[in-house]
Amino acid sequence: MRPMLNMITLGVSDIERSASFYESVFSQRRSKYSNDGIVFIRLTGIVLALFSHKALAKDANVESVGSGFKRFSMTYYASSEAEVDEITSSVEKLGGKQTKKPQKATWGVYSSYFCDPDDNLIEVAYNPVLPLSANGELDI
Amino acid sequence: MRPMLNMITLGVSDIERSASFYESVFSQRRSKYSNDGIVFIRLTGIVLALFSHKALAKDANVESVGSGFKRFSMTYYASSEAEVDEITSSVEKLGGKQTKKPQKATWGVYSSYFCDPDDNLIEVAYNPVLPLSANGELDI
């Protein structure tokens, strides 16, 4: 297995609601490969897929029952604290539920967190220690 | 916000156990930016971070209680059904708990699923419809 992940799939309760949310947040339309049952949004490096949570459990052959904190987050790295503030503000206007206002953690990362309609966490972060390449990817 | 995600962070119960698992699965050592509190594994396009689930909940300012199905999965796209079989077999030898043997879904994707030590789902898939670029990224 090469060191690669191609897709992260979120099992959501309303595909269209989630698709509209992420299309707005990323200013990116869904891929033409999307259909009524699954939506793909191509991001740099990885594809975000939105799929019914019941269908995902069935496809993975696991129990579909779960609740509360999902123990994962997705992070967008900004290139400055000002960009974190700006993005946080615009995501809030798009309906993202902010769980943490932009602030500096004890270890130096400046970030905010918001939730998508299914309470999946997205962090918007500026980390002065981790270098970003010219196209914005983490170069670590 | 550009259409980009830089990192997926898994909130795990034992960072070292998870780090060893993913280092083996991806044949990729942790980044030099890792420390006792967080481990970074650089993959193509995205960085996988392993962080304490309690620390993640605290950082995101959300309740730390959760159980059961987490409603997300991460997918590695192989270039053939044979590669899916081969990877599935090698991951099983590395301790990945298989939840679904390689098989074809009704919509044509041939895939298997396994869990990491915290029951996060990883799918290994071959999809004849979705094109892969030369470096293995989904080109959709």
Sequential DSSP letters for A69-124: --SEEEEEE-SSHHHHHHHHHHHHHTT-EEEEEEEE-TTS-EEEEEE-TT--EEEE
Q: Say yes or no for a CB contact (<8 Å) between B69 and A65.
A: yes
Two tokens at B41?
A: 């594994």
Same domain for A39 and A80, yes or no, is: no
Q: For the residues B62-72, what does the mean pLDDT come to?
A: 97
Same domain for A120 and A96, yes or no, is: yes
Q: Which of B2, B4, B6, B75 should we substitute to test contact with A (largest number of A Cβ atoms within 10 Å)?
A: B6
pLDDT value of residue B122:
97
Whether residue A138 lies inside any domain: the answer is no
Nearest CA in chain B to A118: B71
Between residues A95 and A56, the one the model is more confident about:
A56
pTM over 0.80: yes
Q: Say yes or no for a CB contact (<8 Å) between B4 and A76.
A: yes
**Cα angle at B85 between A40 and A8, to 5 degrees?**
20
Q: pLDDT per residue over A32-76, tens digit each?
A: 999 999 999 999 989 999 999 999 999 999 999 999 999 999 999
**What ipTM does the predicted assembly reach?**
0.96
Look at the block and give the residue holding tokens 């989630």: A18
Same domain for A80 and A121, yes or no, is: yes
Closest by Cα among A117, A104, A109, A114 to A138: A109
What's the gap in Å between the CA of A137 and the closest CA on chain B?
Answer: 6
Residues of chain A positioned with their CB less than 8 A from the CB of B10: 71-72
Whether residue A135 lies inside any domain: the answer is no
> Which candidate from A62, A75, A99 shows the least CB-CB separation from B99?
A62
Residue A8 has pLDDT above 90, yes or no: yes
Same domain for B77 and B116, yes or no, is: yes
Number of domains in chain B: 2
Q: Say yes or no for a CB contact (<8 Å) between A44 and B2.
A: yes
| Burial class of residue A79 (count of CB atoms within 10 Å of its CB; 0-12, 13-18, 19+) | exposed
What is the amino acid identity at position A24?
S
pLDDT value of residue B112:
98
> Which CATH number goes with the domain that contains B12?
3.10.180.10
Whether residue B66 lies inside any domain: the answer is no
Which letter, b or e, does each residue of A102-121 get, where b requires 16 or more Cβ atoms within 10 Å of its Cβ?
A: beeeeeebbbbbbbbbbebb
Structural domain span for residue B45: 7-59
Same domain for A53 and A78, yes or no, is: no
What's the gap in Å between the CA of A17 and the closest CA on chain B?
Answer: 16
Residue A136 has pLDDT above 90, yes or no: no
Whether residue B11 lies inside any domain: the answer is yes
Same domain for B80 and B118, yes or no, is: yes
Look at the block and give the residue holding tokens 């997705």: A74
What is the DSSP secondary structure assignment for residue B140, as one 8-state letter?
A: -
Same domain for A84 and A45, yes or no, is: no
